[in-house]
Amino acid sequence: MNELVLVTGGTGFIAQHCMLSLLAAGYRIKTTVRDLAREEEVRRNLKTGGAEPGERLSFVRADLGSDEGWSEAARDCAYVLHGASPTPSGNHQTEEDWVRPAVDGNLRVLRAARAASVKRVVLTSAFGAIGVGHKTLDRPFIETDWSDLSGNVAPYQKSKTLAERAAWHFIAEEGQGMQLAAVNPTMVLGPALGPDYSHSIRTIKEMLDGQPGYPRIKSCVVDVRDVADLHLRAMTDPAANGERFLATSGDSLFLAEIAKILKENMGPAGAEISTNQIPDVVIKTMALTNSAMRGLVPLLGVKLDASGEKAQRVLGWKPRAPKEAILATGESLVRLGLVG
């Protein structure tokens, strides 16, 4: 299994767990970073995850905003796992700052992959490309659903929706036989590998640090190790070509319910955790003067169940229970000394 796989955005949480799964399966890896000085950090995180790849892992400098580096990155690769994308960092000033790099970045990677005769690209999309902007559904979201951009959709979710649509359009019109599959995770939890963690992991850290309460917002949960496993299945299984797969492991949970799981199972490390649910009227009042709170109002009390049945049926995927993913997150943050 000595094939070479490109994993874009090598400093990312999902990307590093994908690399761990690829290494365990015997693949060689190239990964892209915007700054080659971060190679040591990536290798250190992989070691935390139990892998020391040595020469089986190489690094290429590439940025979604430039063509430079992408041809080199894709050269000789059999597959591409493309997860590099703008994430909620607070540095984006306009909607276009989110959308343009995501859409253009997808197209850059796809063009480079096509030129390198890559067999298949697996795109890391998001639940945000499926389940936002809708009125409440009376069923779980599935892969045929697309986010309604005429509704109330945050810039990050809009970027993921438009970027995924652009990828499918490219494959249909310009793919020249190259294959594409997409993985759409819900809230990704699981073992953190270092201090540069995802937005979802930050939510758990804030709970452990004693956040006083939570808006009445729900989310499904999936373990990052299962997301990585689904990427590998989507990469190689013939049945995955041309398909989207929701990565989710159960019904949606209120944030306060997630906090309760942590508090009941984390022992002394969970002592500061609050399980308070903030009344909707408080959030709505705060939203009158706070733009961050304003963005939460449309989500209050909304049922956001999603089904992972397709991935289980088509690809044999077997995700961990939400409780296991939640506790693995908290335990890793404590183990790495990242709480408090």
Round to whole Å and give the CA distance between 294 and 283.
8
**Residue 105 domain-assigned (yes or no):** yes
pLDDT of 91: 58
**Residue 214 domain-assigned (yes or no):** no
Q: Is residue 119 annotated as a catalytic residue, yes or no?
A: no
| Rounded average pLDDT over 112-122 | 98
The number of domains in the chain is 1
What confidence tens digit (pLDDT) does each residue in 45-85 have? 999 999 999 999 999 999 998 999 999 999 999 999 999 87
Instruction: Mark residue 6 as left, alpha or beta (left: phi above 0; alpha: psi -120 to 50; beta: remaining).
Output: beta
Structural contact between residues 248 and 131, judged by C-beta atoms closer than 8 angstroms? no
On average, the pLDDT of the chain sits at 94
What confidence tens digit (pLDDT) does each residue in 280-309 have? 999 999 989 988 888 788 888 888 899 999
For 74, 255, 304, the CA distances from 140, given in Å and listed in that order, are 37, 19, 7
Q: Which residue, among 41, 174, 158, has the nearest Cα to 102 in the 3D structure?
A: 158
The 3-state DSSP class for residue 181 equals strand
**Residue 328 domain-assigned (yes or no):** no
End-to-end CA separation in angstroms for the chain: 43
- CATH number, domain with residue 145: 3.40.50.720
DSSP letters, 17-81, are: HHHHHHHHTT-EEEEEES-GGGHHHHHHHHHHTT---GGGEEEEE--TT-STTHHHHHTT-SEEE
Which of these is catalytic: 30, 160, 260, 263? 160
**Residue 141 domain-assigned (yes or no):** yes
pLDDT of 145: 96
Structural contact between residues 238 and 319, judged by C-beta atoms closer than 8 angstroms? no
Instruction: Mark residue 210 as left, alpha or beta (left: phi above 0; alpha: psi -120 to 50; beta: remaining).
Output: left
**Residue 15 domain-assigned (yes or no):** yes
**At residue 57, what are phi and psi to the nearest 5 degrees?**
-125, 130
**Residue 199 domain-assigned (yes or no):** no
Round to whole Å and give the CA distance between 72 and 109.
11
Q: In the 8-state DSSP scheme, what is residue 9?
A: -
Domain residue limits at 236: 4-190+222-249+304-320
- How many CB atoms sit inside 10 A of residue 30's CB? 22
Q: Alpha helices, DSSP H only, in the chain?
A: 13-24, 39-48, 70-74, 95-115, 155-174, 199-208, 224-236, 255-265, 280-287, 291-294, 309-315, 322-335
**Residue 99 domain-assigned (yes or no):** yes
**Residue 207 domain-assigned (yes or no):** no
pLDDT of 340: 76
Residue 138's pLDDT band, with cuts at 50, 70 and 90, is confident
Round to whole Å and give the CA distance between 259 and 265.
10
| Rounded average pLDDT over 315-329 | 98
Dmax of the chain from CA atoms?
A: 58
